[in-house]
Amino acid sequence: MTRLVVDSICDLPELLIKKYNIAVLPLFVTIGDESYRDRVDITLEEVYEKMRSGIVPMTSQISSEEAEKTFRGILDDGDDLIYLSFSSGLSGTYQLAKIILDDIRPDYPDRRMEAVDSEAGSMGIGIQALQAARWMAQNRDYDFILQGIYEMIPNTRHVFTLESLSWLAKGGRITPPAGYIGDKLQIKPILDFPDKYLHVAGIVRGRKTAFKTLINMMNKDLADCPGQLIGIAHADDREAAETIEKMVHEALPDAKTFIHPIGCVLGSHLGIGGVGILFFSKLVDGYDLMDEDF
């Protein structure tokens, strides 16, 4: 059997993580002088509550000790494993896991193990992970699963917008005057995720225009495969996510959607009110996410 390991950047409902026995390695969130394991020592709701009070959390990557313990536990059970990491352009988790697996590989000559850079975040990893986990549950061949993951990666699309530039200013990513002026002018950045990094694809005036821009970008990228599962991620703004969901269904009647909050680590960087659409521009052979129950 093959087990899937992800880190806590992967945004999927807890029900599905348990259903498919996915192992999750927590990143760390630091608030003041205290560091917490994401999803273990602190909840998403607690982090967003701190953010709403004006606190800017800091984040850091997975623990090497916990990663090795998790990997060895799976291998000791006689299973193979695939670790699907947060984008290497934004975190060192992939490189760290690769080093650990290379170190322990001689201890398990009969087991297969691989660290894979998802080149994604949030539900971008989530839809990759869910498809891989479904294949694992179907006892698909290890090579089939690994090849399928590598084929999904370049076709994973993220399109995001932010409610406010003030959070980017608080985090030092833009100057405070730029954040202030941008908010006064109702400037909304449009973000995508090419080549492992978050990228500003454009700026627009007003949230309604921002949402329409996301839908237009989605339509352009998945013109050949409208019947798929589309993730809608939000940073503590369910209402915005539901608005986007309605617009997705109007544009793509054959699509299936699910909404999930953006986790603590990415939420800490994007700020309250971010919302995005996650999907594939091309469907891999064996794609069956339309069959998943939520």
pLDDT of residue 86: 93
Q: Can you give the pLDDT at residue 218?
A: 95
| Residue keyed to tokens 């205290």 | 34
**CB-CB contact of 195 with 88 (8 Å):** no
Give the HSE-up count for residue 245: Cα atoms under 13 Å, Cβ half-sphere: 16
Distances (CA, A) of 291 to 3, 127, 256, 280, 286: 21, 13, 10, 16, 12
Q: Report residue 41 as tokens.
A: 């020592």
User: Buried (b) or exposed (e) across 243-255, using 16+ Cβ within 10 A?
Assistant: bbbebbeeebeeb
219, 222, 224, 229 alpha-carbon torsion, rounded to 10°: -110
Contact 178, 149 (CB under 8 A): no
Instruction: Please give the Cα distance from 91 to 118 (Å, whole number).
Output: 11
Q: Are 273 and 237 in contact (CB under 8 A)?
A: yes
Q: What is the residue-level pLDDT of the chain in tens, covering all 294 positions?
A: 999 999 999 999 999 999 999 999 999 999 888 899 988 888 888 888 888 888 888 889 899 999 999 999 999 999 999 999 999 988 899 999 999 999 999 999 999 999 999 999 999 999 999 999 999 999 999 999 999 999 999 999 999 998 766 655 454 444 443 443 445 456 788 888 877 877 778 889 899 999 999 999 999 998 889 999 999 999 889 999 999 999 999 999 999 999 999 988 887 777 788 899 999 999 999 999 999 987
Contacting residues for 73 by C-beta, under 8 A, at least 6 apart: none
DSSP-based helix, strand, coil % in the chain, nearest 5: 45, 25, 30
Residues 6+ apart with CB under 8 A from 118: 84, 85, 86, 87, 124, 125, 128, 153, 156
Write down the pLDDT at residue 84.
98
Residues 6+ apart with CB under 8 A from 55: 31, 32
- 146: closest CA among 281, 282, 284, 16? 284
Q: Is the dihedral of CA 12, 51, 27, 88 positive or negative?
A: positive
Q: What's residue 45's pLDDT?
A: 86
d(CA 288, CA 134): 8
Q: In sequence order, which residues have a C-beta less than 8 Å from that of residue 112 and are 6 or more positions away?
A: 2, 80, 81, 142
Check residue 176 and give its pLDDT. 44
Q: Name the 3-class secondary structure at 201.
A: strand
pLDDT for 165: 61
Rg (CA), the chain: 19
Helix (H) or strand (E) holding 144: helix 142-152
pLDDT at residue 293, rounded to an integer: 87
